[in-house]
Amino acid sequence: MSKTKNILFWFLAFFIIIFSAIYQRITGPTYPLKGKTELDGELIKYKFERSHSSNKNYLIEIKVDSNVEGSLFWGRYNFDEDFNKVSMINGNALIAEIPKQPPAGKIEYFIELKENNKKVFLPENKTVVIKFKGDVPGLILIPHVLMMFLSMLFSNRAAFEYSGKTSRVKIYSLLTIITLLVDLYFRTYNAILCFWRMVDRFSCWF
């Protein structure tokens, strides 16, 4: 294989990874919900998280004029119960918190804003679902991410090698399998940790 072709294959394999990561980031279910609305002539922008650490409360902040009143409504996702209502504090912005939940716990919420007998809902005609997740130790997270990207890189390279009918297909295929198995080890270990955290905190739901 020529040096130019070799460089091209590595570039394409790396480009596919970067493109996939960016696409997943901006279209995935955990990507923050952004939007804007208008209340009594004032343009209001908002950004709501859909994934948050289970070790701390989720702070919601919306920048508005001092005359705007806000209320946060939240409840456990897929539970048949009334929403909790929290009056938002208005300083330089409207602020309220959703209490932290056990790992894998889901909360749905929305905001009501009022000013001069007018009101709007954020977001409009729906709720936001936020999932609380346990913090993964760096000794698990870093190798997992590294192995995940390496497996994608080697698999892409193996595909290009196959299309070019070169002799390195088996090498990159083997590297793909090895990195996937190592990643599986860290995923399994983390899944076991998350399971025991959920068992330990299950009583928090009741």
Give the per-residue pLDDT at 163: 79
The per-residue b/e assignment along 133-161, b for 16 or more CB within 10 angstroms, e otherwise, is bbeeeeeeeeebeebbbbbbbbbbbbbbb
Give the per-residue pLDDT at 99: 95
Q: Which residue has the tokens 């590294």?
A: 146
Model's pTM, two decimal places?
0.70
**pLDDT tens, the chain, 206 aa long:** 678 888 888 999 999 999 988 888 777 777 889 999 999 888 999 999 999 998 899 999 999 887 899 999 999 998 988 999 999 998 889 999 999 998 888 999 999 999 888 999 999 889 999 999 877 777 778 888 899 999 999 999 999 888 767 778 889 999 999 999 998 888 887 777 767 666 555 444 33
Q: Which residue has the tokens 């068992």?
A: 199
Give the per-residue pLDDT at 200: 57
d(CA 46, CA 40): 16
d(CA 97, CA 56): 10
Instruction: Give CATH 2.60.40.10 domain extents, the chain.
Output: 32-133
We find that the CATH architecture of domain 32-133 is Sandwich (2.60)
And the tokens for 179?
A: 């990195």
**Long-range CB contacts (< 8 A, 24+ apart) of 17-22?**
17/149, 17/152, 17/153, 17/156, 20/152
Give the per-residue pLDDT at 2: 74
